[in-house]
Amino acid sequence: MNIVILGSQGSGKGTQAKLLAEKYGLTQIETGKLLRDIAETDHPWGKRIKSMMLKGVLVSDKILMAVLKQTLAKPAGNGRIFDGTPRNLPQYELIKNILKSRG
């Protein structure tokens, strides 16, 4: 099972995602946390992500999808709950295709 939580900043997406993840044994994919964690490392994308975040701009789809591709390669228990992604149709399509290819 895969669930997507959509909503504006501060709308409670993270709270609801956490509750659902705990109740159904899902892996919570917190896009913002993933990006913040990478921004604080020496990862090749770290400086770019940090720069974008400091400027207040969204991280590019290309970088975000590469990060998600790595994240989605990991086992996920009963499924995943996405908090903060997808933000647009191309992101949705890419996530759908990655998940489909993994079975």
| Predicted local confidence at residue 39, as pLDDT | 94
| Predicted local confidence at residue 6, as pLDDT | 85
pTM of the model: 0.78
| Predicted local confidence at residue 103, as pLDDT | 62
What gap in Å lies between CA 85 and CA 29, rounded to an integer? 8
pLDDT tens digit sequence for 7-54 = 887 888 889 999 999 999 999 999 889 999 999 999 888 999 999 999
